[in-house]
C-alpha cells in the first residue's frame, strides 16, 4: 500500500489492499487461461456505500502494481473517477 487517503492506522485498509491484489491475480490468471491477450484493465466492486476501483498497472518493472481507489458512492462520479484513474495510470506508464 503506497498512500492511503483515509486513516493510515485503519487495519481494514491493509485487508482491502490485499484483497484487491488477490482479485487482480485471480482475474489475470483466468484471462490467460481463456486466451484473452488484451489483459486485465480494471475491476469495479460495488458495495452499498462505496465503489472499489482496482486498476492493474502494466509497468516496465518486474513487480506488478495494483491501484485501489475507494470512493464514497453518494458523492462520487463514477465515470469521471474511472477516466481520472485511466489518465493517471497512463501518465505513470510513460
- DSSP string for 10-42: -HHHHHHHHHHHHHHHHHHHHHHHTT--S---E
d(CA 40, CA 71): 21
- The three cell numbers of residue 4 are 492511503
The more confident residue out of 8 and 48 is 48
Query: How is residue 85 annotated by DSSP?
Result: H
Could you tell me what percent of the chain has a pLDDT over 90? 21
The more confident residue out of 12 and 68 is 68
**pTM for this one?**
0.75
pLDDT tens profile 24-63: 888 888 887 777 777 778 889 999 988 999 988 866 666 7
Given the C-alpha cell 481507489, which residue does it identify? 69
**Residue 1 pLDDT more than 50?**
no
Amino acid at each position: 500500500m503506497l498512500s492511503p487517503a483515509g486513516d493510515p492506522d485503519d487495519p481494514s485498509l491493509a485487508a482491502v489492499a490485499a484483497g484487491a491484489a488477490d482479485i487482480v491475480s485471480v482475474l489475470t490468471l483466468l484471462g490467460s487461461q481463456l486466451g484473452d491477450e488484451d489483459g486485465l484493465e480494471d475491476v469495479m466492486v460495488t458495495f452499498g456505500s462505496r465503489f472499489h476501483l482496482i486498476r492493474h498497472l502494466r509497468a516496465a518493472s518486474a513487480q506488478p502494481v495494483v491501484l485501489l481507489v475507494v470512493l464514497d458512492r453518494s458523492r462520487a462520479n463514477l465515470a469521471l473517477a474511472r477516466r481520472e484513474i485511466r489518465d493517471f495510470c497512463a501518465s505513470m506508464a510513460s
